Amino acid sequence: MTTQLQFAQQGQITDPMRAVACGEGLAPELVRDRVGQGTIVIPCNPNRKAQRVVGIGLGLRTKINASIGTSSDICDLELELRKARIAEAEGADTLMELSAGGDLDRIRREVLAATALPVGNVPLYQAFCEAGRKYGDPNKLDPEYLFELIERQLADGLSFMAIHCGLNRFTLERLRKQGYRYGGLVSKGGTFLVSWMETNHKENPLYEQFDRVAGLLAKYDAVLSLGNGVRAGAIHDSHDRAQMAEMILNCELAEIGRGLGCQMMVEGPGHVPLDEIEANIILEKRMSGGAPYYVLGPLPADRGAGYDHITAAIGAAEAARYGADLICYITPAEHLALPNEDDVREGVRATRLAAQIGDLAKYPERRDLEKRAALTRRDSRWAEHLDLLLFPEKAKEIRASRMPAKEETCTMCGDFCANRKGMELFSDCIGPDKRL
């Protein structure tokens, strides 16, 4: 199969490229060129006919990923399908199906049928789950089964996969020699892969046979997202030698994968102090040749459990500002429990707001809606103002629950409305260019 990357390198503009260009207000030729350079990816497995076309990368709106999935403690397919639909309704751009309990093939296929979003996963989850069920020990996983499983999942219609190709014995040696980790290992797939490597005294097959991995993804024109298996789970581990060793390898593999015709994306941390986020993104972009960067959070503090959607939103705004391309949401349940429907809703909303804040700094020319919202608020044109907001229904619900005595004001200020008084005082000197 010819991939979007290969079509672009041949000078062809495909329907998905046109759709991305139209949605982003860009020239199709620009999108084609960036897809050809590998700085934009379009996850669009053709085995799945009815899915939304989403571009991720340079010059595009920062995209939001929502993750769902069962666990060994809570396995409720209907709950996961509701969460998938909520994520889509709330404005997520992609969805990761990360189940680790129940009939994993059925769950994946029903999630794919329940949403139009491009869906990704971490194939190691199912591989180790099934090895554990079959042999009583995930470390008895047969690597050949892992490759068979990757293809089976792609054939179902997954459009991107997080695969831990950059975690190898060199990476583990860095971890061992540095002798400490405040946050330990926090990636499920990465930790079980480390266990497999250590128990079997073997190299990571996903690294050893990287060409095979990239070939499978290219066969279905799916995006290979290079997983962050030893990402920092605490801000004190940020940019330690183990994390940096994996990041360097992932950036090298991104370049190799593009040479094999596969669309490539790099994943990043994790827990990162606010003052290190910019440097992290600069490093990824420089070392990978501008590959789209998929960041998990990042969380700039470790003590926010219960409100980690806010912790992560602060980090995500910075990440988007400095060039992150896809941000995985964090919900209020992070570090505490499997998310429910309300957690998914709040996680998507917080991350959308964070991405919007970052994009306003990254693309100053795209601030017109902010100006219109400010002007309608100033002029007390409430109906128009509320419709311009990022979350209009929530804003209308709050206002309706506490309506003011005078409709042009709100109950925060009432008779002491600063906007109304300001317009009275200065209406004669506000020029027509400052009115809608």
Average pLDDT of 310-327? 98
**Boundaries of every domain in the chain:** 60-365, 367-434
Q: Residue 133 to residues 126, 136, 414: CA-CA distances in angstroms?
A: 10, 6, 64
- The answer on pLDDT for 57 being more than 90 is yes
Q: Is residue 430 predicted with pLDDT exceeding 70?
A: no
**Average pLDDT in the 8-20 region?**
98
Q: What is the mean pLDDT of residues 94-109?
A: 97
pTM of the shown model: 0.95
d(CA 389, CA 369): 9
Residue 436's pLDDT is what? 42
Rounded (10°) angle between helices 77-89 and 341-362: 30
Percent of the residues in the chain that have a pLDDT greater than 70, as a whole number: 98
Q: Which superfamily does 60-365 belong to?
A: Radical SAM ThiC family, central domain (3.20.20.540)
Specify the pLDDT at position 431: 58
Average pLDDT over residues 25-30: 98
For residue 423, pLDDT over 80 is answered with no
pLDDT band at residue 285 using 50, 70 and 90 as cut-offs? very high
Q: What is the mean pLDDT of residues 246-271?
A: 97
> Please, what's the largest Cα pairwise distance for the chain?
81
pLDDT digits (tens, 9 = 90+) for 203-217: 999 999 999 999 999
* Structure-model confidence comparison of residues 109 and 423, the more confident one: 109
Residue 380 has pLDDT above 70, yes or no: yes
**Res. 172: pLDDT tops 90:** yes
